[in-house]
Amino acid sequence: MQDYFGEKSPQVEPGLLIAFGVEISSRHSRADELIELLRFAERIADRKVSQYVKKAFYDSKGNLCSLELDPSVQEGDAVASEILDAATEFISQFDWFGMPTHGGEIAKSYAAT
């Protein structure tokens, strides 16, 4: 029987998808990470900024998502703000201009304390 919950056990295949024009992937093909990224991609598409996100890669081992943004996106501009809002809503932990940032359920649990 397949162990789907081991540290490096893939849960979803393929582990790389194109969603709303954004390449999303999870190092160990983890379902929870891909779900976060799918929701994120849907939100940025709805906000008309998905074309500014080239890739979203979840490093399963480091529990950190890296976003590859279009070079035209600058921290603090309107496009970056829309992307940040969506990432904060759905992605548990991500790199934002070199700063590890909590979002999703992690951010909600901090806010409750």
Q: Which domain holds residue 73?
A: 16-112
The structure tokens listed for 78 are: 């309107």
* Inside any domain, residue 4: no
Residue 84 lies in a domain: yes
Q: What's the pLDDT at 108?
A: 56
If you ran DSSP here, which 8-state letter would residue 21 be given? T
- Give residue 7's pLDDT band: very low, low, confident or very high (50, 70, 90): confident
Is residue 62 assigned to a domain? yes
Poorest-confidence range of 12-16, 58-62, 76-80, 90-94? 12-16
Structural domains of the chain, count = 1
Average pLDDT over residues 56-70: 95
Any idea which residue has 């976003």 for tokens? Answer: 67
Exposed e or buried b per residue across 43-70, where buried means at least 16 C-beta atoms within 10 angstroms of its C-beta: bbbeeebbebbeebbbbbeeebbebebe
Residue 46 and residue 62: Cα distance in Å, rounded? 29
CA angle 62, 64, 27 (to 5 degrees): 70
pLDDT at 110: 52
Whether residue 3 lies inside any domain: the answer is no
Q: What is the pTM of this model?
A: 0.88
The verdict on residue 6 lying in a domain is no
C-beta separation of 73 from 82 below 8 A:
no
